[in-house]
Structure 1
Amino acid sequence: LNLFASPPDCKFLCSICHAVLKRPVRLPCSHIFCKKCILQWLARQNTCPCCRKEVKRRKMVYVNKLQKTIGHLKVKCKNAEAGCLVTCPLAHRKGHQDSCPFEPIACPNEGCSAQVSRGTLAEHRQHCQQGGQQHCPLGCGATLGMTELAHYNCYLKLRESWSERQERSQRLLQGLLRRVRRVHRTSSLIRKQLAQLSHLLEDNAMREANTPTEGSVGAEAWGVQGQGSLEIEG
Structure 2
Amino acid sequence: MIDTDFFYEPHAVVERGAPVFVQDGSVLPKKIFFHCCCAPCTEWPLYYLRVHGIEPQGYFYNPNIHPTLEWERRLGGLNELNVKHKFKFLTAGDSEEERWRSFVKRDKAGHCRICYAVRLYQTAAKAAELGYEGFSTSLLVSPYQNRPLILQLGKLAAKKFNLRFYGFDFRPGYHYGQDMAKRDGLYRQKFCGCIFSLAESDYSAKIAAEIAYPLENLPFPRPGYQH
TM-score, normalising length: structure 1: 0.20
Higher relative contact order (CA 8 A, sep 6+): 2
Larger radius of gyration: 1
- Judging by fraction of residues, say which structure has more helix: 1
